[in-house]
Amino acid sequence: MRVKCPICGEPVEVPDDVLPGELIDHECGVTLEVLMDGNSIRLKPLEGIKEDWGE
Amino acid sequence: MRVKCPICGEPVEVPDDVLPGELIDHECGVTLEVLMDGNSIRLKPLEGIKEDWGE
Amino acid sequence: MIVVKVGGEVLARNLDGIVESVGRRADRGIVLVHGGGIIVTELCKRMGVEPKFVTSPEGLRSRYTDRDEIEVYVMAMAGKINKRIVSGLLSRGVKSVGISGADGPTAIAERKERIVIVDERGRKRVIDGGYTGRIVEIRTELIDLLLSNGFTVVIAPVAVDGKGNLLNVDADQMAFKLSSAVRADKLVMLTDVPGVLINNRVIERIRTNEVNEMIKRVGFGMNRKLMSAANAIEQGVKEVIISSGLVEDPLAHALAGGGTIIS
Amino acid sequence: MIVVKVGGEVLARNLDGIVESVGRRADRGIVLVHGGGIIVTELCKRMGVEPKFVTSPEGLRSRYTDRDEIEVYVMAMAGKINKRIVSGLLSRGVKSVGISGADGPTAIAERKERIVIVDERGRKRVIDGGYTGRIVEIRTELIDLLLSNGFTVVIAPVAVDGKGNLLNVDADQMAFKLSSAVRADKLVMLTDVPGVLINNRVIERIRTNEVNEMIKRVGFGMNRKLMSAANAIEQGVKEVIISSGLVEDPLAHALAGGGTIIS
Ligand SMILES: [Zn+2]
Ligand SMILES: [Zn+2]
């Protein structure tokens, strides 16, 4: 399955067995999060992850 | 099995399958509690029961 | 200052509504006594703790709280339910403290050390009385301290005896004895019925001198509530309201006269 | 005023000894922070709640607290263990109050809302962060109130976030942050080892400026304790003692210099 990258506009290869929340690194450098609503798939740049947890 | 009543001294019939805490009303009017220590059996007048509980 | 009692049935169906309603009136000073029997039963099932029943020589069958069950009871009441209410209040900006009757200590109870039962073989036996208690003393020091410092107090129906045994106590009884001890203005009992019902009609007001007449005409759970209510009023509580915990804003509804007022 | 932290291992093996030791010194003002991980694990097993683990993209495997597990955690910590300590103190004539960090509120934590994991198929995924928190604020109002009125305070390692979520927090971290916040004279960490060990010998005293050197030579659990201890001292705690909770009268032993003093 191919979906358009919301950042660079180029196609992104999405596996058929993709799960909600799955992350796909696109060749333009962005990490995309897979959002699923029923059978429709959207891609969104990954946000809201605190890297610096510390414990 | 027969054990002597601690109140009247007459024999008390104790069933073979008796369990600790079992109560036996003796003909002299006392309620006896069966205390067991290994295989030995003692009989003691029942005490420490509050009848008037209220709830 | 008001004492609110909310039962397990109501909590299971309307916990958020109760928390919201209590939170709105927190500045009046509220002590919330909660039940939760349903949740204890459910948890016992999940943990493979079978409910036990005993039969008295008079033939009365009743639930028996053994050592395993009191553990589950304390966890469910003082852990799960109590902290869920506290965190719910907190998320609404209400500062609150969840305690059990053992904390302080606040509720001292007496347990039956030994009881007589009729066993499966039909023979009488004396066994340990289990971990159910009857409240014999309420100490208000901790509650007074918390209330006077602006905390809403949430209390689980767990008491303690002189030996440090944690005991299962009836939440209704805890609410009644507590409201007498702190001389509450009002005790609001939020139940899963709209009030004291006679012929399917809610009785608006009952005077304490009418209670003896009334108890013959209501069901078993309710007649105990009525007797305890009359008793609490004799001990200084101004009024007891028995009302529904399942309506919108149950406390507003109760305080506006929705339900039965005993005074 | 002293803060005492006691871990789950020690409680499982010596609860009565700890309670007795704390009870004897209650008039000094004691805040007891307890752990209990072993008991949580055991309870999860009994309830069929499987421990879950997640793997980070860096390959680090760690325990994951999901919705089922936080429920069991709260029941075990704030219900079972907390109330058992409180009733133990009470049976020794010590008035005490058992709370969690959610009560008051006392411990506000932040949870990771979302985390990135590598799933069973080896693919990266973002999932809910679960119910583990990092304490970001200690409010001392409730503890101060209780201590100044003569209550011993027993605290379960449960915190709450701004949305009212109950969170699993590390009991060590809770003890360190709490002792800084209340400016404790001493923080006593009662563990299942006799102190900070290097080559099987207990180090008697460590200055905060030696901690960085020391942490290379001690194990993983202990090096975190040492770093946090140095941090607590910078924040105003006079000394931290790491010592055995399994000896006779563990607090007397710790306060008499049995163990490692960090200052
Ligand atoms: Zn792209
Ligand atoms: Zn006789």
Q: Mean pLDDT in chain C?
A: 94
CB C188 within 8 A of CB C179: no
Residue D197 has pLDDT above 60, yes or no: yes
Residues of chain B with C-beta less than 8 angstroms from the C-beta of C127: 21
Portion of chain C with pLDDT greater than 70, in percent: 100
Q: Do C123 and B22 touch (CB under 8 A)?
A: yes
Distance from CA of B9 to the nearest CA of C (A): 22
pLDDT at B54: 39
Q: Provide the pLDDT for residue C78.
A: 98
> Do residues C100 and C86 lie in contact, with contact meaning Cβ atoms separated by under 8 Å?
no
Percent over 70 (pLDDT), chain B = 89
Give the tokens for residue C237: 């509580």
- Name the residue in chain A with its Cα closest to that of D228: A55
Percent of chain D with pLDDT over 90: 87
Q: Is the pLDDT of residue C69 over 50?
A: yes
Nearest CA in chain B to C173: B55
- Is D74–C78 a contact, with Cβ atoms under 8 angstroms apart? no
Give the span between the Cα atoms of B43 and C145, in whole angstroms.
Answer: 52
Pick from D99, D145, D163: CB nearest C149: D145
Q: A54 phi and psi, to 5 degrees?
A: 90, -20
Give the DSSP letter string of B1-55.
Answer: -EEE-TTT--EEE--TT--TTBEEE-TTS-EEEEEEETTEEEEEE----------
For B1-55, write each residue's pLDDT tens digit: 899 999 999 999 999 999 999 999 999 999 999 999 887 899 999 987 765 443 3
Cα distances from C180 to residues B15, C200, D6, D167, D196, in angstroms, run: 51, 30, 38, 36, 54
Pairing type for strands D107-111 and D260-262 reads unpaired
ipTM of the complex: 0.86
Whether the predicted pLDDT of D107 surpasses 70: yes
Q: What is the mean pLDDT of residues C15-30?
A: 97
C115: closest CA of chain B, how far (Å): 6
Average pLDDT over residues D44-50: 91
Beta carbons within 10 angstroms of residue C119's beta carbon? 14
Greatest distance between any 2 Cα atoms in chain A: 39
Average pLDDT over residues C16-41: 96
Q: What is the pLDDT of residues C144-203, one digit of tens each?
A: 999 999 999 999 999 999 999 999 999 999 999 999 999 999 999 999 999 999 888 999
Q: Determine, for residues D134 and A53 on separate chains, whether the beta-carbon distance falls below 8 Å.
A: yes
User: CB–CB of D79 and C84 under 8 A?
Assistant: no
| D134 → closest Cβ in A17, A23, A54 | A54
Cβ-defined contact of C71 to D80 (cutoff 8 Å): yes
Instruction: Compute how many other C-beta atoms are within 10 angstroms of the C-beta atom of residue D222.
Output: 20
The number of the ligand nearest the C-alpha atom of A4 reads 1
Beta strands in chain C (DSSP E): 2-6, 30-34, 52-55, 61-64, 96-100, 107-111, 114-118, 124-128, 133-138, 152-156, 158-160, 166-168, 186-191, 197-198, 201-202, 205-206, 239-244, 260-262
CA pair distance D65, D74, nearest whole angstrom: 11
Domain layout of chain C by residue ranges = 2-48+78-108+132-262
Element (H, E) at A45: strand A40-45
Q: In the predicted model, is pLDDT for residue D119 greater than 60?
A: yes
Mean pLDDT of D208-230: 89
Q: Which ligand is nearest to the CA of A31?
A: 1
| B21 near C CB under 8 A | yes
Dihedral sign of CA atoms C69, C72, C77, C78 in order: positive
Question: What mean pLDDT do residues D115-133 have?
Answer: 93
Distance (Å, whole) CA C121 – CA C127: 15
**How crowded is the C-beta side of D112, counted as CA atoms within 13 Å?**
22
Burial of D119 (0-12, 13-18, 19+ CB in 10 A): middle
- pLDDT: which is higher, D98 or D62: D98
Q: Does D17 score more than 90 pLDDT?
A: yes
pLDDT of residue B39: 79
Q: Are C142 and C106 in contact (CB under 8 A)?
A: yes
Predicted pLDDT at C220: 74
Does the CA dihedral C8-C10-C16-C17 come out positive or negative?
negative
Q: CATH classification of A2-45, choosing from 3.10.105, 2.40.10, 2.60.40, 2.20.28? A: 2.20.28
If one looks up domain D2-45+75-108+132-262 in CATH, what number appears? 3.40.1160.10
Q: Which of A23, A31, A36, A43 to mutate to test the interface with D (most CBs of D within 10 A)?
A: A23
Does the CB of C22 have a partner CB in chain D at under 8 Å? Answer: no
The reported pLDDT for the residue numbered C218 is 87
Q: Write down how long chain C is.
A: 263
**Among residues B23, C144, C85, which one has the least CA distance to residue D74?**
C85
Indicate which of D15, D20, D49, D86 best probes the interface with C, i.e. most C CBs within 10 Å of its own CB.
Answer: D86
Sequence-distant (6+) residues with CB within 8 A of D142 are: C97, C151, D99, D103, D104, D106
**Which of D116, D121, D134 is facing A23, going by the closest CB pair?**
D116
Whether residue A54 is predicted with pLDDT greater than 70 in this model: the reply is no
Residue C139: band (very low, low, confident or very high) from pLDDT cuts 50, 70, 90? very high
D139-165: per-residue pLDDT in tens?
999 999 999 999 999 999 999 999 999
Q: What's chain D's average pLDDT?
A: 94
Which pLDDT belongs to residue A50?
65
pLDDT of residue B50: 65
- pLDDT score recorded for residue B51: 54
- pLDDT tens for C80-134 read 999 999 999 999 999 999 999 999 999 999 998 899 999 999 999 999 999 999 9
Q: Please count the residue pairs, one from chain B and one from chain C, whose beta carbons lie less than 8 angstroms apart.
A: 31
- Overall average pLDDT of the C238-257 stretch: 97
- Quick one: which ligand is closest to B43's CA? 2
Rounded distance, CA C239 to CA D139, Å? 37
pLDDT at C61: 86
Strand partners, C205: C261
Q: What percent of chain D has pLDDT over 70?
A: 100
Question: CA C134 → CA C79, C115, C180, C209, D84, distances in Å?
Answer: 22, 14, 16, 26, 20
CA pair distance B12, B4, nearest whole angstrom = 6
Average pLDDT, integer, range D81-91:
97
Q: What is the CATH topology of the domain spanning C2-48+78-108+132-262?
A: Carbamate kinase (3.40.1160)
